[in-house]
Structure formats: structure tokens, C-alpha cells
Amino acid sequence: MGILDLPRGGPSGYPGSRLIAEGVTVRFGGVSALSGVDLELGQSEIVGLIGPNGAGKTTLVNVLTGFQRPTQGKVELDGLDLRSDKPFQLAARGISRTFQAGRLFRRLTVRENLEVAGFHTGCTRRQARETADRLLEELDLTAFAGSTAGSLNYGHERRVGIGRALATKPKFVLMDEPASGMNDAECEELVACIAGIPAQFGCGVLLIEHNMKVILNACERIQVMDGGKRIAMGKPKAIITDARVRAAYFGTRHATAAGGNGIH
């Protein structure tokens, strides 16, 4: 258990808000999708969430974003229970999310996609537009501001999805496989983009991702799940050498992919 090296209060030295899941259990009928999972995310860090298919990663994100009520356990933001919040309240508290499929509003323009996400703060159209334009510039998407979201290519669509999540002015963004379907060059751009989020936007990132290159390059901590349980948590270097993780996750199939990558 050497890599479960975090004190219960979470990693020290990270200022700002904390999003905490504690002992979260989710049962569908008789099947446990999650059993007693903990997760902790600070406002200025990037945490990776990995595990084989069916490990419960998406269910955990669903719990954290109010899609799924936990059977047991609690979800707290700075000590505030989030379990009975409505979706718009979660957005107002600063929790945002991106999806595997971009789920953009395809008939709206790129700029409008970001504007919509800003209104919960009670701002005017003009203010929403200013925020949107600033974000588009920072994400290098200004050229597409007036295009219909449905006309974008895959990589840009993903980036707009991230921009839209950031337009809610979140404290935490939870990203579900942002790199899936991307080529190496696009992945590198994505890593650069994600790595800049905590400093640029004051926003913590939880990253679910199968692409180990992206995970290892972007994350400061990695949580590994298998069979609905947390099996490891720690720094990238410790994670890829952990025997349990290798057995459960990397297996023989992923060993080469993980071993071949540089660790930062």
C-alpha cells in the first residue's frame, strides 16, 4: 500500500476548494458498480482516473456530477453535501463536465455554445459574450467563433467542449476521455491545453482517459480503479511500477504502451 501515500485530509500545499467523495457505493440491483470509493480533488491539480473498462470510472464521475445518486457514501465540496443538488446548482457551485462525445449544441455557433454556459452567474448577454471570446482566444479557437458547432472536426469539437465546460467558471472540470479518437499530434495539443487549466483558470481537473501518454504527461496524481474499488493512488511514477496496478490494469496488453512513455 506504499502508494496510498496521501494523508486523510488530502494533499497539503494545494490552496482553494476541495471536491471529495468518501466511501461512495453505487449498487444497480444486486450489482455493485462502486464499493466504498474515495476520491479527492484540489482546485489547482490535475488528477487522472484510470482503470479497465467496467472499473467504475464513469459511474464515479456520474456521482460527482449529480447524474447518479450514491447508494452510500458522501460527495462534498468544501464540506457542502452535493448529493441532492439539481444540475444547475452543481454548475453554480463550480462543477463542470465534458463528455466522450462532445455533446455540443450543434445548431448553435461555437461562441453561442460558450455563452450559454455563462448565464447561470446571472450575467448579461454582453458579459457572456466577452467571457466566451476570451476563452476562445485562450483555447486558440477564435477563428471558429462564428461557425456552427456541428461543422467542426473532431479535435476542435473536443476543444470547444472543454471551452464550454470552462465557460461555467468552474472550480472543477471532470473530463471523460477527452483524447479518445485523437491522433498523436492532437493528443499533444490536448495535453498542453489541459496542463494549463489549473493555472490559467483556477480550476482543478479530473481526467478519465485510456491514453496513458496523455494521463502520464498531464496528471500530477493518478487514481487507479478496478472492479468498483480504488486499488491505487499516487504519483505517475509510483503508479506504473505498482505491481497490483500492473496486474489489474496494464496487464500484458498495455505493458508496452505504458513502459515506452516518458514520465514527467
Partner 1 sequence: MGYFLQVVIDAVSLGSLFALVSLSIGLIFGIMRLINFAQGDFVTIGAYSLLAPAAGAAPVLFLGALPWPLMIVLVLAVVVVLALVTERVAFRPLRNAEPATLLVSSFAVSYFLQNLVIVLYTSRPKALSLGTEISTVVDIFGLRIASIQLLTIVVTITLLVAISAFLRFTPLGLQMRASAENFRMARLLGVRANRVIAGAFAIAGFLGGVVALLLTAQTGVIDVRAGATLAVFGFFATVIGGMGSLVGAALGGFLVGAVSAVLQTILPADVRPFRDAVVFAAVIVVLLVRPRGIIASKSKERV
CA end-to-end distance (rounded Å), the chain: 22
Q: What are phi and psi of 211, to 5 degrees?
A: -75, 105
Residue 40, strand partner residues: 20
Q: How far is the CB of 222 from partner 1 (least distance, A)?
A: 26
* Shortest Å, Cβ 91 to partner 1: 3
Rule CB under 8 A: is residue 91 a binding residue for partner 1? yes
* Identity of residue 211: N
Minimum distance of partner 1 from residue 107's CB (angstroms) = 6
CB-nearer residue toward partner 1: 113 or 211: 113
Distance between CA atoms of residues 176 and 174, nearest Å: 7
Pick the stretch among 106-114, 135-143, 202-210, 242-250 that binds partner 1 (CB under 8 A).
106-114
CB of 164 to partner 1, least distance (A): 7
Give the three cell numbers for residue 51.
482503470
E strand or H helix at 46: strand 46-50
Residue of 153, 129, 235, 221 lying closest to 161 (CA atoms): 153
The Cβ of residue 26 has, within 10 Å, a number of other Cβ atoms equal to: 22
Alpha-carbon gap, residue 199 to 197, rounded angstroms: 6
User: Among 28-36, 137-145, 159-167, 256-264, which window interacts with partner 1 (CB under 8 A)?
Assistant: 159-167
Residues in the chain: 264
Binding test (CB under 8 A) with partner 1, winner from 105, 133, 155, 241: 105
- Of 76-84, 163-171, 212-220, 251-259, the segment contacting partner 1 by CB under 8 A is 163-171
What is the closest distance, in whole angstroms, from the C-beta atom of residue 154 to partner 1 in the complex? 16
Interface with partner 1 includes 68 (CB under 8 A)? no
Q: What is the dihedral of CA 135, 100, 189, 3, to 10 degrees?
A: 110
Q: Which of 16, 119, 229, 246 binds partner 1 (CB under 8 A)?
A: 119
- Evaluate whether 47 touches 221 at the Cβ level (below 8 Å): yes
Q: Is 160 one of the binding residues for partner 1 (CB under 8 A)? A: no
Q: Of 3 and 90, which has the nearer Cβ to partner 1?
A: 90
**Cα–Cα distance for residue pair 146/14, rounded to 1 Å:** 38
Give the contact letters, 167-206, x = binds to partner 1 (CB under 8 A), - = no. xx--------------------------------------
Residues at the contact surface with partner 1, assessed by CB under 8 A: 65, 86-88, 90-92, 96-97, 99, 103, 105-108, 112-113, 115-117, 119-121, 124-125, 128, 150, 164-165, 167-168
